[in-house]
Amino acid sequence: MRLDKYLKVSRLIKRRTVANEACDGGRVTVNGRIAKASVDVKQGDVITISFGNREVKVEVLDVQETVKKEEAKELFRYL
């Protein structure tokens, strides 16, 4: 699954366009490498997102096309 779509589905970022802009701005890394929105995300990947002076680091536990709001937290684990 594309990185920008995963960020939206997992609700780490609310909108796909915002996720796309974050990726284009170099604020998202996958496994330590700056990632574009089209990078393929799979189970076990570590995603780091920089929000201004705050950084969020998560491990991908599952990849699904659609999930309910309550189940979105099960797609990743905070590190």
The reported pLDDT for the residue numbered 27 is 96
The per-residue pLDDT for 42 is 95
Could you read off the pLDDT of 37-74 as tens digits, one per residue? 999 999 999 999 999 899 999 999 999 999 999 999 99
Per-residue pLDDT band for 18 (boundaries 50, 70, 90) equals very high
Q: What is the pTM of this model?
A: 0.93
SS (H, E, C) 52-74: CCEEEEEEECCCCCCCCHHHHHH
pLDDT value of position 57: 97
Q: How far apart are CA 76 and CA 79, in angstroms?
A: 10
Of all residues in the chain, the percent with pLDDT exceeding 70 is: 100
